[in-house]
Structure 1
Amino acid sequence: MTKVDDQINALRRASGLVGAPSSDFDLNPEVTPAEGRKLRAAGVLVAFEPRADGLHLLLTKRSSHLKHHPGQIAFPGGKVDPGDADEVAAALREAREEVALPSGHVEVLGTLPAHETVTSFTVTPVLALIHTPFDPVREPGEVEEVFYTPFDHVMDPARYSVQYRRWRGQRRLYYTVPFGPYYIWGATARMLRALAERVA
């Protein structure tokens, strides 16, 4: 069995585990969500592509011109639109729009527990494999860059650290797992760390 086979099997096992949802408030219990807030459903694609040296995770750097989360590292994905059947459909559609990933190239392994963001989204991570190689084409209005990170990097819980910054006048703690020039943090890092714990 190859390294890629081992990693794919680990993801398949992880997708079948039952777990609790997470949120941006996990590390910040003193920050309470606004009462009466309306949570909007969203789906993101956590997609790994097999290569000779193992699986690699597809990530994007958001455009610096965007109103929400400019310049941040993110999974392809977004809110569930009226035409989407569910969060899986939304994640696949957004991946087509943002990086030109054909849905037929993707095998969906399952979904992970939802993550609530401080921006009032309930984000469902959709775990997937990219079985057919493709050439990413970024949507320039949304995506500044498309890149990949090795499975071994993002699936190692020891690589994650907790840092903080000031947000709306309060100290906010968050997870981070930097990779080269890419500062992976916040909700993206939190969802990845939850997956890394399942894989471990």
Structure 2
Amino acid sequence: MTFLINEKQKLTEILRKSLEPVPIEVPSVLSLNDNLRGDHDLNPASAPSHDLPFTPAAVLVPIVLRKEGPTVILTRRATHLSKHAGQISFPGGRADEGDENAVATALRESQEEISLDPGLVEVIGSLTTYVTVTQYSVTPVVGLVEPAFDLRPEAGEVSEIFEVPLDFLLDQANRKKHSGFRNGVERFWYAIPFGDYYIWGATAGMIKDLSERIMLK
């Protein structure tokens, strides 16, 4: 049994009203005057003080239309990676020269990382560009996904694929602000613990953006 048609229409309408249009192109140079979210939201001292080059990237925020209620696909990055090993993330990555726009990047990376057929994704819009301390400008592309997929993790990048109920991710009570010290400086980040999974950093920040935009009830 698939997601009820009227429920899909309701969710689509909510998202279309709440999300931004997907930008045609993501600039490689960003300014604090731009509408940006990022690691500096909780750590203002880490915000760039002038225009700096960023590497354009995009992720897919894949909302699966399940009969029990919508869920969101997340991945655990492979443990052998040199950066962000074992962390929870949306499928996605840096833009290639051949990518027409952020949508193309998000769909290509999702197909490469988890074998998600782009034909099963209905792109609705995007969240605010998220900049990271590693100098990436990430466009979070939001899409509705039909559950008729056969996902397979790409062993070189992904160790696990799992789903989390959308309601859980949107519930502010499930989001915490954590802190730790790096090089003697205290840093803060958002985290959403879910069972054995610790969703934090940029991924949690993007989910916070989504939760502030939409209400399902």
User: How does the TM-score come out when normalised to structure 1?
Assistant: 0.92
Give the deviation of 1:177 after TM superposition. 1.0
CA separation of 1:90 and 1:144: change in aligned 2, threshold 3 A: same
Query: Could you tell me which of 8, 11, 16 is aligned with 1:12?
Result: 16
Amino acid at match of 1:100: S
Q: Describe the superposition over 1:115-152 as per-residue Cα deviations: whole angstroms up to 9, x where unpaired.
A: 00010000000000112520110000100100000010
Give the deviation of 1:22 after TM superposition. 0.5
**Equivalent residue, structure 1, for 2:102:** 87
Query: Could you tell me which of 87, 94, 113 is aligned with 1:72?
Result: 87
Aligned length, in residue pairs? 199
**Equivalent residue, structure 1, for 2:72:** 57
Query: Could you tell me which of 141, 146, 152 is aligned with 2:156?
Result: 141
Amino acid at match of 1:13: K
Distance in 2 (CA, whole Å) between partners of 1:136 and 1:128 is: 16
Q: Describe the superposition over 1:3-34 as per-residue Cα deviations: whole angstroms up to 9, x where unpaired.
A: 555444332322248x9421100101122437
Counterpart secondary structure, 1:51:
coil
Counterpart secondary structure, 1:183:
strand
- The answer to whether the 8 Å contact 2:16/2:124 transfers is yes
Q: Which runs of 5+ in 1 are unaligned?
A: none
Distance in 1 (CA, whole Å) between partners of 2:50 and 2:188 is: 21
1:150 aligns with 2:165: yes
Query: Could you tell me which of 137, 141, 145 is aligned with 1:126?
Result: 141
**Equivalent residue, structure 1, for 2:200:** 185
**Equivalent residue, structure 1, for 2:182:** 167
Distance in 2 (CA, whole Å) between partners of 1:167 and 1:33 is: 18
Q: Describe the superposition over 1:34-56 as per-residue Cα deviations: whole angstroms up to 9, x where unpaired.
A: 76642010000001111111101
Percent identical residues: 42
Distance in 2 (CA, whole Å) between partners of 1:104 and 1:93 is: 11
**Equivalent residue, structure 1, for 2:131:** 116
- The answer to whether the 8 Å contact 1:63/1:70 transfers is yes
Query: Could you tell me which of 101, 104, 113 is aligned with 2:116?
Result: 101
Q: Which runs of 5+ in 2 are unaligned?
A: 22-33
The farther-off stretch of 33-42 and 174-183 is: 33-42
- The answer to whether the 8 Å contact 1:157/1:197 transfers is no
| Cα RMSD, aligned residues only | 2.0
- The answer to whether the 8 Å contact 2:73/2:164 transfers is yes
- The answer to whether the 8 Å contact 1:45/1:76 transfers is yes
Distance in 1 (CA, whole Å) between partners of 2:140 and 2:161 is: 18
- The answer to whether the 8 Å contact 1:4/1:55 transfers is no
